[in-house]
Copies of this chain bind each other. A is one copy, B any other.
């Protein structure tokens, strides 16, 4: 799983729209659609209920969203820690 793809899915969840997520990410709608589908195939579960015009997350989608946000937090912590280390080395 590529963490970028997790962020794509999170963006889709946020906007409840592939098209809006694609614009927000400056990527094509096609790319977002395919990446989310590949995530679903990788996890072997449907993440999004596409039966209506306004899409919504499935229960599995809600789980992936919640855990995905935790992962994004960890990545943010990682950046912060590396940044702190860098400043420490510079003697700041």
Contact = CB atoms under 8 A, between A and B. Distances in A.
Interface of A: 1-4, 43, 45, 59-60, 63-64, 67-68, 70-71, 74-75, 77-78, 81-82, 85-86
B67 A71 contact: no
A45 B78 CA distance: 12
A85 B4 CA distance: 25
A60 B75 CA distance: 14
Contacts of A67: 74-75, 77-78, 81
A1 B71 CA distance: 12
A63 B81 CA distance: 7
A2 B5 CA distance: 9
10 contacts: A1-B75, A2-B3, A3-B3, A45-B82, A45-B86, A59-B85, A64-B78, A67-B81, A70-B77, A71-B71
